[in-house]
Amino acid sequence: MSTFHEKVVYQIYPKSFKDSNGDGVGDLKGIIEKIPYLADLGVDVLWINPFFISPQKDNGYDIANYVEIDPLFGTMEDFEELIAVTHKYKMEIMLDMVLNHTSIEHDWFQRALKGEKKYQDYYILREPKADGSHPTNWVSKFGGPAWAPFADTGKEYLHLYDVSQADLDWRNPDVRKELFNVVNFWLEKGVKGFRFDVINVIGKDEVLIDAEDGIGKSLYTDRPIAHEFIHEMNQESYGRYPNIMTVGEMSSTTIENGIAYSNPENEELSMVFSFHHLKVDYLDGEKWSKTPFDFMELKELLNDWQEGMSKGNGWNALFFNNHDQPRAISRFGDPVNHFEDSAKLLAQTIHLLRGTPYVFQGEELGMTNPEFQEITDYVDVETHNAYKELQEKGLPHEEIMEIIKEKSRDNSRTPMQWTHEKNGGFTTGEPWIKLAENYHEINVEKERNEGTIFNFYKKLIQLRKEMPVISEGNYRGIMMEHPSVYSYVREHEGEQLLVLNHFYAEPVTIEIPEEFLTRPSQYLIGNGTKRALTASLELGPYETIAFYFEVDKKEAKNS
């Protein structure tokens, strides 16, 4: 059995977690200070967003040195202390590796600019077309063309993301060797896990061509060679160590590829992040829009990925929140009228699925979107770009702000709310971004003294460790046509779990399928009244409830 199946990962956005020196930016010493808190929650692995040397054009995802720590966050000694302290508390560190591209301030790119052929071959450089237009018509994911002039050489470099992030040429064996050395450097420091940023776009073709759709995504996403590269990285680095946990962030991937990346037989990755379920509130596929989320689509996507990955022996990373997403409680729940129930519903829906759950900092308190009133309160470059684009489309300021309040990546990046004191106990200085105003009401101190969300997360984490039906069981969606309830069954060696998740405020009565009424069941966990399973079951606002069955062993063998 794979050790990561019963683990839970806690994601730390270091800039906003805890500031130890009053400069307004969270740091490694701040994380060390809060390790006992995380140990109490019961999480096993701490995924920390990038803290390497970076000009911070894209919040550290533009790396200028992979093996040095940005002074903004501390020193290598701080990192070594962090490893030692987490080890003491039986926790592990997962680092965020951005290996598709480097900052243009990276030494490799700078040496390429100076004319060193070796380093020019590290990047994807091409001549413009005969008519002087870009080498291809691909569009950058941050808007505009995916090509920029490479100094005054007449060539252009590929940047699928920001113009300051130059794509590396993974077809060059020297590049792969350098990157595998980076991974090995951190393994030797005692790191036990890696999250690989946009790793499924590393496999560009040798000959780059125009895209028929004028965007180009299909020409560099999930190419077969990406699997070869990831397998090679596995063999040359983390695959040589026992029990290293890896997760690939997969841009626009498919279930078929998700299985290929994460099926243990392929020796690529432990699991994958896919994002389709977090686009169900995009109007006609457009992120910067305001529309209610499509519950049926959400349920269908979760179900398809669960069933598909289960059948192919792939493994899902389970999440509703991260540093690039709005707060899930503000998105899929009702933090005003049904605060605790909404938070628990979202937690239980995710934690009882098949896969490895990820908790994003503050989620265990029910932290919400901050709903900043002014565009100047937002820091994120993507948000400011969107504001300009929506203005150009003629939308009034008020309407644009309503969209930004719901969709900005800064929604999840506001400082962690530790206490009701100034700046929520995050910093004694001026925070790099404002806090949500509700930190007086929603904070760690108050939640642990009076609240019930933290303890609910704690219980879910504990159940995963104790119950193989949760950590190992198969998945089956049921009652998929129900308009407000997402129900599923987990099964493993004679045990069964029935999970019912009601996503709306109006109470609803559901008819339980006959197969669950013919044998004894017991209430396991929920956010409502503890009660027995009956043929007609009423679910309250945002109620989630799970029932446990021990199936007859003979029946289990025959099924």
Instruction: Give the active site residues.
Output: 197, 249
Report whether 169 contacts 124 (CB < 8 A).
Answer: yes
Structure tokens at 162: 């920001």
Structure tokens at 230: 């990831």
- DSSP β-ladder status, 165-167 and 101-103: antiparallel
**Cα-only R_g, the chain:** 24
Q: How far apart are CA 417 and CA 362, in angstroms?
A: 7
Is the four-CA dihedral 379, 380, 385, 388 of positive or negative sign? negative
Amino acid present at 423 = N
For 479, residues 6+ apart whose C-beta sits below 8 A from its C-beta are 485, 487, 510, 513
Q: How far apart are CA 103 and CA 516, in angstroms?
A: 56
Amino acid present at 327 = R
φ/ψ (deg, to 5) at 249: -80, 120
End-to-end CA distance of the chain: 22
For 254, residues 6+ apart whose C-beta sits below 8 A from its C-beta are 222
Cα 104 versus chain centre, distance:
25
Structure tokens at 388: 């300009």
Structure tokens at 313: 């022996």
Q: Between the CA of residue 40 and those of 9, 429, 452, 457, what are the distances in Å?
A: 14, 28, 14, 11
**Cα dihedral 151/155/161/163 (nearest 10):** 20
Q: How far apart are CA 56 and CA 247, in angstroms?
A: 23
Amino acid present at 539 = L
Report whether 371 contacts 405 (CB < 8 A).
Answer: yes
Q: What is the 3-state secondary structure (H, E, C) of 260-276?
A: HHHCHHHCCCCEEECCH
